[in-house]
Amino acid sequence: MKQLILGGVRSGKSRLAEHLAAASGMAVTYIATAAAGDEEMRARIAHHRAQRPAAWQVVEEPIALAAALRAHASADGCLLVDCLTLWLTNLLCSDDSGALARERDALLTALPSLPGQIILVTNETGLGVVPADPLSRRFCDEAGRLHQALAVACDRVIFTVAGLPQVLKGAPL
Protein backbone atom coordinates (compact mmCIF):
# COMPACT_ATOMS: atom_id res chain seq x y z
CA MET A 1 0.00 0.00 0.00
CA LYS A 2 1.19 3.48 -0.88
CA GLN A 3 0.01 6.30 1.37
CA LEU A 4 0.44 10.07 1.04
CA ILE A 5 0.01 12.13 4.20
CA LEU A 6 -0.31 15.89 3.73
CA GLY A 7 -0.75 18.66 6.23
CA GLY A 8 0.56 21.98 7.41
CA VAL A 9 3.51 22.53 9.71
CA ARG A 10 2.86 20.85 13.09
CA SER A 11 -0.42 19.37 11.85
CA GLY A 12 0.34 15.89 13.18
CA LYS A 13 1.26 14.35 9.81
CA SER A 14 4.62 12.90 10.95
CA ARG A 15 3.10 11.54 14.14
CA LEU A 16 0.33 9.87 12.12
CA ALA A 17 2.86 8.43 9.66
CA GLU A 18 4.97 7.03 12.48
CA HIS A 19 1.87 5.52 14.10
CA LEU A 20 0.85 3.85 10.81
CA ALA A 21 4.37 2.55 10.25
CA ALA A 22 4.56 1.09 13.77
CA ALA A 23 1.07 -0.42 13.44
CA SER A 24 2.04 -2.14 10.18
CA GLY A 25 3.87 -4.83 12.15
CA MET A 26 6.63 -4.70 9.53
CA ALA A 27 10.27 -3.76 9.75
CA VAL A 28 10.37 0.01 9.30
CA THR A 29 12.96 2.00 7.37
CA TYR A 30 12.70 5.73 7.92
CA ILE A 31 14.02 7.75 4.99
CA ALA A 32 14.89 11.24 6.23
CA THR A 33 15.30 13.92 3.58
CA ALA A 34 16.32 16.87 5.77
CA ALA A 35 19.72 18.46 5.41
CA ALA A 36 21.08 19.96 8.63
CA GLY A 37 22.02 23.35 7.23
CA ASP A 38 21.63 25.45 10.39
CA GLU A 39 21.22 25.09 14.14
CA GLU A 40 17.42 25.22 14.06
CA MET A 41 17.27 22.40 11.49
CA ARG A 42 19.80 20.36 13.48
CA ALA A 43 17.51 20.73 16.52
CA ARG A 44 14.47 19.61 14.50
CA ILE A 45 16.37 16.57 13.22
CA ALA A 46 17.50 15.70 16.75
CA HIS A 47 13.90 15.95 17.99
CA HIS A 48 12.68 13.61 15.23
CA ARG A 49 15.49 11.14 15.96
CA ALA A 50 14.55 11.05 19.64
CA GLN A 51 10.90 10.29 18.76
CA ARG A 52 11.62 7.29 16.51
CA PRO A 53 11.80 3.74 17.84
CA ALA A 54 15.40 2.50 18.13
CA ALA A 55 14.58 -0.61 16.07
CA TRP A 56 13.80 1.43 12.98
CA GLN A 57 16.50 1.64 10.35
CA VAL A 58 17.22 5.23 9.33
CA VAL A 59 18.47 6.27 5.90
CA GLU A 60 19.38 9.91 5.37
CA GLU A 61 18.91 10.81 1.70
CA PRO A 62 18.37 14.46 0.77
CA ILE A 63 18.45 14.08 -3.04
CA ALA A 64 18.33 10.54 -4.54
CA LEU A 65 15.01 9.51 -3.02
CA ALA A 66 13.89 7.09 -5.74
CA ALA A 67 17.20 5.22 -5.52
CA ALA A 68 16.88 4.99 -1.73
CA LEU A 69 13.31 3.69 -2.04
CA ARG A 70 14.33 1.05 -4.59
CA ALA A 71 17.29 0.00 -2.43
CA HIS A 72 15.24 -0.46 0.75
CA ALA A 73 11.75 -1.51 -0.35
CA SER A 74 10.76 -5.08 0.44
CA ALA A 75 7.52 -7.04 0.48
CA ASP A 76 7.69 -7.43 4.26
CA GLY A 77 8.85 -3.89 5.01
CA CYS A 78 7.46 -0.42 5.51
CA LEU A 79 9.26 2.65 4.20
CA LEU A 80 8.40 6.00 5.76
CA VAL A 81 9.64 9.09 3.89
CA ASP A 82 9.66 12.33 5.87
CA CYS A 83 9.41 14.71 4.17
CA LEU A 84 8.87 15.37 0.48
CA THR A 85 8.80 19.16 0.75
CA LEU A 86 12.24 19.19 2.39
CA TRP A 87 13.40 16.91 -0.44
CA LEU A 88 11.87 19.32 -2.96
CA THR A 89 13.67 22.23 -1.29
CA ASN A 90 16.98 20.36 -1.51
CA LEU A 91 16.39 19.82 -5.23
CA LEU A 92 15.38 23.43 -5.90
CA CYS A 93 18.51 24.66 -4.12
CA SER A 94 20.81 22.19 -5.88
CA ASP A 95 23.53 23.45 -8.18
CA ASP A 96 22.36 20.81 -10.66
CA SER A 97 19.59 22.52 -12.66
CA GLY A 98 18.28 19.19 -13.96
CA ALA A 99 18.10 17.50 -10.56
CA LEU A 100 14.49 18.41 -9.81
CA ALA A 101 12.97 17.05 -13.01
CA ARG A 102 15.20 13.97 -13.00
CA GLU A 103 14.57 13.03 -9.35
CA ARG A 104 10.83 13.84 -9.45
CA ASP A 105 10.40 11.68 -12.56
CA ALA A 106 12.45 8.89 -10.98
CA LEU A 107 10.21 8.95 -7.89
CA LEU A 108 6.99 8.91 -9.90
CA THR A 109 8.31 6.08 -12.09
CA ALA A 110 9.58 3.95 -9.18
CA LEU A 111 6.65 4.33 -6.79
CA PRO A 112 4.05 2.08 -8.47
CA SER A 113 6.37 -0.94 -8.63
CA LEU A 114 7.82 -0.73 -5.11
CA PRO A 115 6.94 -3.69 -2.87
CA GLY A 116 5.75 -3.38 0.72
CA GLN A 117 4.18 -0.40 2.40
CA ILE A 118 5.25 3.11 1.51
CA ILE A 119 4.25 6.15 3.60
CA LEU A 120 5.09 9.57 2.17
CA VAL A 121 4.86 12.69 4.35
CA THR A 122 4.67 16.17 2.86
CA ASN A 123 3.65 19.72 3.70
CA GLU A 124 0.58 21.10 1.95
CA THR A 125 1.60 24.54 0.74
CA GLY A 126 -1.40 25.51 -1.37
CA LEU A 127 -3.68 26.84 1.33
CA GLY A 128 -2.16 30.28 1.83
CA VAL A 129 -1.47 33.41 -0.14
CA VAL A 130 0.61 33.37 -3.31
CA PRO A 131 4.22 34.00 -2.19
CA ALA A 132 5.85 37.30 -3.16
CA ASP A 133 9.19 35.98 -4.44
CA PRO A 134 9.83 33.82 -7.53
CA LEU A 135 11.61 30.94 -5.75
CA SER A 136 8.77 30.56 -3.23
CA ARG A 137 6.18 30.63 -6.02
CA ARG A 138 8.12 27.98 -7.91
CA PHE A 139 8.36 25.87 -4.74
CA CYS A 140 4.58 26.02 -4.24
CA ASP A 141 3.94 25.23 -7.91
CA GLU A 142 6.33 22.26 -7.89
CA ALA A 143 4.94 20.96 -4.59
CA GLY A 144 1.38 21.21 -5.89
CA ARG A 145 2.21 19.34 -9.09
CA LEU A 146 4.14 16.67 -7.17
CA HIS A 147 1.30 16.20 -4.67
CA GLN A 148 -1.28 15.83 -7.44
CA ALA A 149 0.81 13.19 -9.22
CA LEU A 150 1.46 11.31 -5.98
CA ALA A 151 -2.22 11.42 -5.02
CA VAL A 152 -3.03 9.59 -8.25
CA ALA A 153 -0.29 7.00 -7.60
CA CYS A 154 -1.15 6.35 -3.93
CA ASP A 155 -3.81 4.00 -2.58
CA ARG A 156 -4.64 6.29 0.33
CA VAL A 157 -4.30 10.06 0.70
CA ILE A 158 -4.73 11.65 4.13
CA PHE A 159 -4.86 15.33 5.03
CA THR A 160 -4.10 16.16 8.67
CA VAL A 161 -5.42 19.21 10.47
CA ALA A 162 -4.79 19.84 14.19
CA GLY A 163 -3.76 16.21 14.60
CA LEU A 164 -6.97 14.96 13.02
CA PRO A 165 -6.57 12.77 9.93
CA GLN A 166 -9.03 13.29 7.10
CA VAL A 167 -8.97 10.49 4.52
CA LEU A 168 -9.33 12.03 1.05
CA LYS A 169 -8.81 8.83 -0.93
CA GLY A 170 -8.84 5.15 -0.04
CA ALA A 171 -9.89 3.08 2.93
CA PRO A 172 -10.73 4.77 6.23
CA LEU A 173 -8.22 4.60 9.07
Q: Which residues are known catalytic residues?
A: 48
116-144 burial, b if ≥16 CB within 10 A, otherwise e? bbbbbbbbbbeeeeeeeeeeeeebbebbe
Radius of gyration of the chain (CA): 15
- DSSP E strands in the chain: the ranges are 2-7, 27-32, 57-60, 77-82, 117-123, 156-161, 164-169
Neighbours of 104 (CB within 10 A): 21
CA distance 47 to 124: 21
